[in-house]
């Protein structure tokens, strides 16, 4: 690989960012963390009216502006009902797999920003107490949260300040194994956010400017397909850095990076995709080209929403997407290398 990127920083940055809950549509707790990382490299964040954070990198050639997006929201849950016995019923934010959340510690964030932990369970929560526990479906109608507080009535839960509409995030479980595998619930897409800051660190430490003015964007609403719906009008290219889910049709591995040529919406821009593949080759990245199946990105949202731009997507391949996810530091290195080759246009 061409660029010797700081993988220790990337992993630390990921662990830092993933430790702060930001379920779909809720960025209040992560905002100051993103501001801090930008400031560390001499940059200031700014936001549009929807709260999407941006960082502008001035390019050698300011006649063109491109955008690199890494969404900072994750899948999550929202409180939909408080039962008379004080248990919480929830609704999914994004593509939740309820079975993967059984037994998980989750965090409910109330309107005052106070966080309460709870245990996510099936309503048939004990093999000793319920017959047919294993056969009970795990879905919105059967799963509940048992708050880790002495509450047994709806009124007691309301007294804690918990209400319908409060966001809920699951424990992220970030682990780096000695063999270089990075595991967490939210590799999607906080590993990409960490890749973008690692790219920024490399540019900063090597006094490099991107070829064109480059907007870094960290939207909070990718998981419902809205993250790229608005794009500042000066942007002519939207490149989403996002997970590439591995599966039966893919050639990528957790050690490579991958360019997504087409997803559930349809093909990404042909020429921009071809350019990304050429950058990957020139930068010596291990890179495959993939068709993602039940998947899309903010770059597709940006194109679909009528913005006058072209879009493309690439990122680190991930095993087990929207469950407990896994990638490898080599996949992250390949991804940052491709990112650098793209913004430097070399």
Using CB under 5 A as the criterion, which residues of the chain lie in contact with Zn ion when the complex forms?
188-189, 242
Torsion-angle region of residue 78: left (phi > 0), alpha (psi -120 to 50) or beta? Answer: beta
| Least distance from Zn ion to the Cβ atom of residue 223, Å | 7
Q: Nearer Cβ to Zn ion, position 31 or 188? A: 188
SS3 assignment, position 158: helix
**Of residues 242 and 325, the one with the C-beta less far from Zn ion:** 242
Q: Which are the contacts of 195, defined by CB distance < 8 A and separation ≥ 6?
A: 10, 70, 241, 315, 316, 332, 335, 336, 339
Least distance (Å) between residue 63 CB and Zn ion: 31
**CB-nearer residue toward Zn ion: 295 or 342:** 295
Q: Which is nearer to Zn ion, 221 or 277 (CB)?
A: 221
The continuous run of DSSP H or E covering 318 comes out as strand 317-318
- Are the C-beta atoms of residues 346 and 207 closer than 8 Å to each other? no
CB 157 within 8 A of CB 202: no
H or E element: which one contains 145?
Answer: strand 143-147
Long-range contacts (CB closer than 8 Å, 24 or more residues apart) made by 86-89? 86/147, 86/151, 86/152, 86/153, 86/154, 86/156, 86/157, 87/144, 87/145, 87/146, 87/147, 88/118, 88/144, 88/145, 88/147, 88/157, 88/162, 88/168, 89/140, 89/143, 89/144, 89/145
Instruction: Give the nearer residue to Zn ion in terms of CB position, either 322 or 333.
Output: 322
Of the two residues 108 and 261, which places its CB atom closer to Zn ion in the complex?
Answer: 261
Supply the minimum distance, in Å, between the C-beta of residue 315 and Zn ion.
8
Taking alpha carbons only, the member of 69, 68, 6, 1 closest to residue 40 is 6
By beta-carbon proximity to Zn ion, the closer residue of 189 and 325 is 189
Residue closer to Zn ion, measured from CB, 166 or 242 = 242
Nearest to Zn ion of 118, 167 (CB atom): 167
Cβ 32 to Zn ion shortest distance, Å: 22
Give me Rg for the CA atoms of the chain. 21
| Structure token pair of residue 178 | 């000695």
Q: How far is the CB of 96 from Zn ion (least distance, A)?
A: 14
- Min dist CB 345 to Zn ion, Å, is 25
CB of 26 to Zn ion, least distance (A): 16
- The residue at minimum Cβ distance from Zn ion is 189
| Ramachandran bin of 180, using left for φ above 0, alpha for ψ from -120 to 50, beta for the remaining angles | left
The answer to whether residues 268 and 280 touch, using CB atoms and an 8 Å cutoff, is no
CB of 252 to Zn ion, least distance (A): 15
Q: Residue 243 Cβ, how far from Zn ion at the closest point, in Å?
A: 5
Assigned token pair, 79: 């409180």
């Amino acid at each position: 690989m061409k660029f010797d990127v700081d993988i220790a920083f990337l992993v630390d940055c990921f662990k830092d960012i993933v430790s702060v809950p930001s379920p779909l549509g809720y960025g209040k707790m992560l905002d100051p963390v993103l501001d801090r990382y930008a400031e560390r490299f001499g940059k200031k964040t700014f936001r549009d009216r929807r709260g999407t954070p941006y960082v502008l990198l001035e390019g050698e050639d300011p006649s063109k502006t491109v955008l690199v997006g890494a969404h900072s929201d994750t899948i999550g849950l929202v409180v939909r009902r408080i039962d008379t016995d004080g248990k919480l019923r929830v609704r999914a934010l994004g593509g939740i797999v309820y079975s993967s959340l059984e037994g998980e510690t989750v965090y409910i964030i109330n309107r005052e920003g106070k966080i309460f932990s709870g245990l996510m369970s099936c309503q048939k929560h004990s093999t000793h107490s319920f017959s047919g526990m294993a056969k009970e479906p795990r879905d919105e109608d059967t799963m509940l949260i048992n708050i880790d507080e002495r509450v047994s009535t709806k009124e007691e839960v309301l007294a804690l300040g918990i209400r319908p509409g409060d966001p809920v995030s699951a424990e992220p479980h970030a682990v780096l194994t000695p063999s270089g595998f990075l595991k967490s619930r939210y590799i999607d897409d906080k590993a990409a956010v960490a890749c973008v800051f690692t790219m920024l660190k490399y540019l900063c430490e090597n006094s490099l400017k991107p070829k064109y003015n480059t907007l870094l964007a960290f939207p909070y609403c990718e998981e419902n397909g809205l993250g790229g719906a608005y794009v500042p009008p000066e942007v002519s290219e939207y490149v989403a850095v996002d997970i590439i889910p591995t599966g039966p049709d893919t050639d990528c591995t957790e050690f490579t990076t991958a360019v997504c040529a087409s997803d559930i919406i349809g093909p990404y821009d042909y020429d921009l995709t071809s350019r990304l593949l050429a950058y990957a080759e020139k930068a010596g990245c291990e890179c495959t080209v993939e068709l993602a199946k039940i998947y899309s990105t903010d770059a597709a949202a940006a194109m679909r929403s009528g913005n006058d731009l072209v879009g493309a997507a690439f990122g680190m391949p991930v095993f087990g997407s929207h469950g407990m996810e896994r990638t490898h530091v080599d996949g992250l290195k390949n991804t940052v290398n491709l990112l650098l080759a793209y913004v430097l246009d070399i």
